Chain A
Amino acid sequence: MSLKEKVQAVIGGDLVELTDFRGDLCAEVPKGRCLQVLTRLKEEGGFDFLSDVIGMDNLHLYEKKKQKKGKKAEEETKPEKQGPPPPRFEVIYLLLSLETGERLQIRVRVPEDDLELPTITGLWRAADWPEREVFDMFGIRFKGHPNLRRLLMWDEFQDHPLRKDYPLEGKGEERHLNYDIG
């Protein structure tokens, strides 16, 4: 049984989309079913090792695509249907099967108005710091995480620096650090 069939069999009806790029399989699952799917993949699918949890901000990604498509549509003079834009954020879980050495990416889309996901620290303790980092860098909260504090930035920091609308040079926060002196 190939990896694709195996993933389809394990995830079943919760699979939204399965993409294959250069041999890296990426399965998208709905946000509400994320924890159940990951539990099933761990217990039934044999994906027993968590490599990493990755956050991503797709703010400008779809705007660019729209522009490209818009130009094409003008050239071809074909009106295009436009559904609601995809959610802004996504979280990718990198799983690994120690037995077979197969890797799988699980993608969960997170809309901007509901930045909350269930934690998977109960399944893999390895998700502890990666989830804290995703919270730090993107502002996505993980419900039930034992210690959801900022990891790399300092606690008083207000923004989420890896979001695409945060400027590269920062907003000058380091110049306004408040020290209690005297």
Chain B
Amino acid sequence: MDLSLNGEGGNSVTKQVETICITTGPIEYSEYVTLNIGPIHPAMHGTLRVITRTDGETIISAKPEIGYLHRGVEKLGENMSYAQFLPITDRLNYCSAICNNVAYEMAVEKLLGIEVPPKAQLIRMIMMELARIADHQVCVGILGVDLGALTPFFYLIIQREEIYEIFEWHHGARLTNSMGAIGGVEADLPDRFHEKWPKLRNTIRKANDETDRLLTHNRIWMDRTIGVNAFCADDALNWGFTGPMLRACGVGRDLRKDEPYLMYDKIKFDIPTGKHGDVFDRYMVRMLEMEESVKIIDQAYQLYKEFPDDAPLMKKVPKIIRPPEGQIYHAIESPNGELGFFIKSDGSDKPYRIKIRPPCYMVYQAFEDLVKGEMISDLIACLSSINVIAGELDR
């Protein structure tokens, strides 16, 4: 390089320095790598997409993109009768379809101002708690799979199949259940349930116990989950978290206790809470909730047995439902949190507006705050522990 400062040579040096400055100026930005994860990727449950910027393996920003499974459920609902919309609610959270069905049925019943017979309420409760166990089993199992622990998944999924067998006996479907009807439930508990449940409750607890022994005090599991994506309670409430995500942060809010519906006020159960809101606490909350659900089913079954066989299961509802004008919001505690249905009626046989408040929608919008500063492999752990269901997220 010619370093003489005379004439053209000097100019060329300064020019060179300038060009170096220009290229080296934004170098701290250009070192970040933009990494696109999803929408089609085995670890991105369903059709989720996250655009991350990473510094090495540390996440600087993560922007979730949603809408790949948007089917316009709310628009469809405006063009259907109230009963026709019921099978569509299965397709929201397909891991626990029964909770969606019952939430919708209860919202319409609130709009109509009717109360379903007590025996039907107990059947709904038993089925919903079974669905909650199945949902948590999937969530915990998949969390294990995503972190490299394949075995507990099989322990849990075998029990889930047994639960699905009960669903099949009751209303014929395994995954997209469409259980019940507006005004009650269509059928009594199947006869085989009475023999099945005393055995099943033990095998569910055994599977949980085995999962617990494999994972909870496992060194690798603890390293991968404790302190990962820790979140504080104030932020969680500001972001609108509900369900296990909020309880893992230490807020014991559960709609089954705070706004009791069906017969939950007659049943004794605890609300497990965590402290740090990290992946480990979410996992523990879900594991303990399964135990509580088994307790709830036991008590609800005891109450159920007090009713005679021919006790009514359906409230009389007109064939074509025409609720009075008005708007209501009704929420239940689904496995992921507060699942609400807002329905506005204009007095006709079709809902004027249906708005669904999916629980994981509110959690997933805080995704960037959850994973910022973590590693990419922790992003996958975070996603599995939130239990984002694309069908419910995009509607």
Contacts and interface: CB of A to CB of B under 8 A. Distances in A.
Contacts of A24: 327-329
B212 interface: no
Contact of B67 (A48, A124, A128, A151): A151
B342 A54 contact: yes
Given A22-B110, A51-B240, A101 B258 contact: yes
B357 A52 contact: yes
Given A51-B338, A124-B238, A125-B366, A152 B67 contact: yes
Interface stretch (B70-78, B130-138, B144-152): B70-78
Interface in A49-86: 49-52, 54, 56, 61, 64
B70 A52 contact: no
B307 interface: no
Given A151-B66, A153-B67, A161-B72, A126 B238 contact: yes
A181 interface: no
Interface in B235-259: 237-240, 253, 258-259
Given A56-B344, A125-B238, A51 B331 contact: yes
B363 to A, nearest CB: 10
Given A24-B329, A98-B253, A61 B79 contact: no
Nearest to B348: A64
A92 to B, nearest CB: 8
A150 B239 CA distance: 20
B110 to A, nearest CB: 6
Interface string A21-64: 11010100000000000000000000011111010100001001
A56 to B, nearest CB: 5
B327 A162 contact: no
Interface residues of B, number: 38
B326 A21 contact: yes
A22 B338 contact: no
Contacts of A22: 110-111, 113, 326, 328
Q: How large is the interface on A (under 10, 10 to 19, 20 to 34, 35 or more residues)?
A: 20 to 34
Interface in A114-150: 124-126, 128-129, 150
A42 to B, nearest CB: 11
B392 to A, nearest CB: 13
A54 B355 contact: yes
Interface of A: 21-22, 24, 26, 48-52, 54, 56, 61, 64, 92, 94, 98, 101, 103, 105, 124-126, 128-129, 150-154, 161-162, 168
Interface of B: 66-67, 70, 72, 74-76, 79, 110-111, 113, 237-240, 253, 258-259, 326-329, 331, 338, 340, 342, 344, 346, 352-353, 355, 357, 361-362, 365-366, 394-395
Given A51-B357, A52-B357, A150-B67, 10 more contacts: A22-B111, A22-B113, A22-B328, A51-B338, A94-B357, A98-B237, A129-B361, A129-B362, A152-B395, A161-B75
25 contacts: A22-B110, A22-B328, A24-B327, A24-B328, A26-B327, A50-B240, A51-B338, A51-B357, A52-B340, A56-B353, A64-B346, A92-B327, A92-B342, A94-B329, A94-B357, A124-B238, A124-B240, A126-B238, A126-B240, A128-B365, A150-B67, A152-B66, A152-B395, A161-B72, A161-B75
